[in-house]
């Protein structure tokens, strides 16, 4: 059975990994690459997951989870920024406990590979 993973999980886990590196935002292009890598890894590991990462899904996630992150038009490239009052623990408690552990491991492992821009 396929697990549907909303864009908010990809955004949150990218921000968790980057915040640990001292960065509080992720470029949209980095987010797209991260999502593609996670999807590819899931296919390779026979994990049945569908990632909802269209621009519509990303926009909806930003709107629906505005307590956690915000879309910012940067001069170079748009970014999704972690709100200043949100801690890593807040993201972990909200976005990590709802996915199957095998899938969560892929998402977390690949997020650790993200480069701070």
pLDDT tens, residue by residue, 59-106? 999 999 999 999 998 778 899 999 999 999 999 888 876 777 888 889
CATH code for position 97? 1.10.10
**What does R_g of the chain's alpha carbons equal in angstroms?**
13
| 79: in domain | yes
Query: What's the pLDDT at 27?
Result: 92
80 in any annotated domain: yes
Domain that holds residue 102: 3-112
Look at residue 97 in the predicted model and tell me its pLDDT: 66
Mean pLDDT, the chain, rounded, equals 90
Average pLDDT score over residue span 19-24: 93
Q: Is residue 103 part of a domain?
A: yes
Q: What percent of the chain has pLDDT over 90?
A: 68
Nearest to 101 by CA among 109, 91, 89, 111: 109
Whether 58 maps to a domain, the answer reads yes
Query: Does residue 117 form part of some domain?
Result: no
- How far apart, in whole angstroms, are the C-alpha atoms of residue 95 and residue 92? 5
Quote the number of domains for the chain.
1
Does 72 map to a domain? yes
């Amino acid at each position: 059975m396929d697990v549907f993973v909303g864009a908010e999980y990809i955004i949150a886990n990218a921000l968790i990994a980057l915040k640990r590196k001292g960065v509080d935002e992720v470029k949209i292009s980095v987010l797209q690459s991260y999502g593609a890598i996670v999807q590819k890894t899931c296919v390779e590991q026979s994990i049945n997951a569908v990632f909802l990462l269209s621009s519509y899904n990303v926009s909806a996630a930003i709107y629906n989870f505005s307590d956690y992150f915000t879309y910012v038009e940067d001069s170079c490239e748009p970014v999704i920024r972690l709100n200043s009052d949100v801690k890593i623990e807040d993201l972990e408690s909200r976005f990590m406990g709802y996915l199957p552990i095998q899938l969560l491991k892929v998402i977390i492992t690949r997020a650790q590979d993200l480069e701070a821009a």
